[in-house]
Structure 1
């Protein structure tokens, strides 16, 4: 399983809640590792819910690479413009984190500045990253998924960071409720609870 503290992001400290690095976010990790070439010292990070944007922002800031504003799309635009100016005056890299894949900015001065920034987006995990995400969530819970779990779950699971987290949580819940180790019956029921019966029964 690739973690963000590998050579891909050399020089940055490990995070206790290690972020899985895969096809969907490797380019983000590389960009955050070296902000020296960011246009105007600014980057905007966007992506789906539960994709690790906040963890990446804390990791970036904790490494001393610059400052990060999580939920920047919820800030007052005038205040955010002043914060951008201050970062430029201090020659400080500034990472702005926003939800989704679209951020409509109405303040002209801010819109022009951020339009020139480096735009980063977390994409959709492939099978390899999906397997790593499932295993990572299980490890954090101290949950043994059972032999063959990834082979069964990966083709049936939706490519959603939020749903993968819910899926592992549901497997954990069902094992506790039934006082049984995870097997195909529990995997299937967890998939059905999170995604619906059709997805759970795919061949």
Structure 2
């Protein structure tokens, strides 16, 4: 029987450029972020599945451009003229679909930022036409925004992402442990995040190090813990 957690270290995501691993799945997005001063119309939509690195790249861009980052959900209560005084990144645009107040706030922010000569980055987990925006003027502005897509991870990227997720939790599993996970898990950023969290939790509850054996047990789900004939690495 698994007991209560004995302790839990805080998760501190590393969001600097040096912590972002470039692979064919995200290389074009990285190029666009690094060359932000050349965006068509001074705006870009960064598209990709949950966990693909949109927030990470938004922070990389903010560090390079001096931009602020705001959630689309917070726009109704934001000081739009103040936000428009510099470059701005607005995250998770689909979250405000159908919210008239929030959509109008984004529309005004879009216009003011560009009128002031600044740059605008927006993020979403799917293409513009599937966001569900109901304000026609905003939808047309977003449709006219250059976009770049982060793809689901290849082997190189998934390996790096899993290693980073462990690192964010102050954990350093062996390369063999991560290689086993990448080979046997579903190829998804969300799955990777959940699996790393499950392994971390199991290690804490069982007071065991993060090893290949533990990863096997967690991936097998109901496998009896401590009974697998696989040596720790």
TM-score normalized by structure 1? 0.78
Partner of 1:112: 140
Q: Secondary structure, in 3 states, of the residue corresponding to 1:123? A: coil
Taking only aligned residues, the RMSD between alpha carbons, in angstroms, comes to: 2.4
For 1:147 and 1:106, how far apart are their aligned partners in 2?
A: 48
1:31 equivalent to 2:32? Answer yes
Q: Rg: which structure is higher?
A: 2
1:154 equivalent to 2:182? Answer yes
For 1:178 and 1:164, how far apart are their aligned partners in 2?
A: 21
Matches for 1:1-203 after TM superposition, within 5 Å: 15=16, 18-64=19-65, 66-75=87-96, 76-101=102-127, 102-146=130-174, 148-193=176-221
Partner of 1:3: none
Partner of 2:71: none
1:146-181 Cα offsets, whole Å, 9 max, x none, are 352133221112221121122122222222222233
1:129 deviates by: 0.8
Q: 1:174 to 1:128 in 2, by over 3 A?
A: same
Runs of 4+ in 1 over 4 A off after TM superposition: none
Unpaired segments ≥5 residues, structure 1: 1-13, 198-203
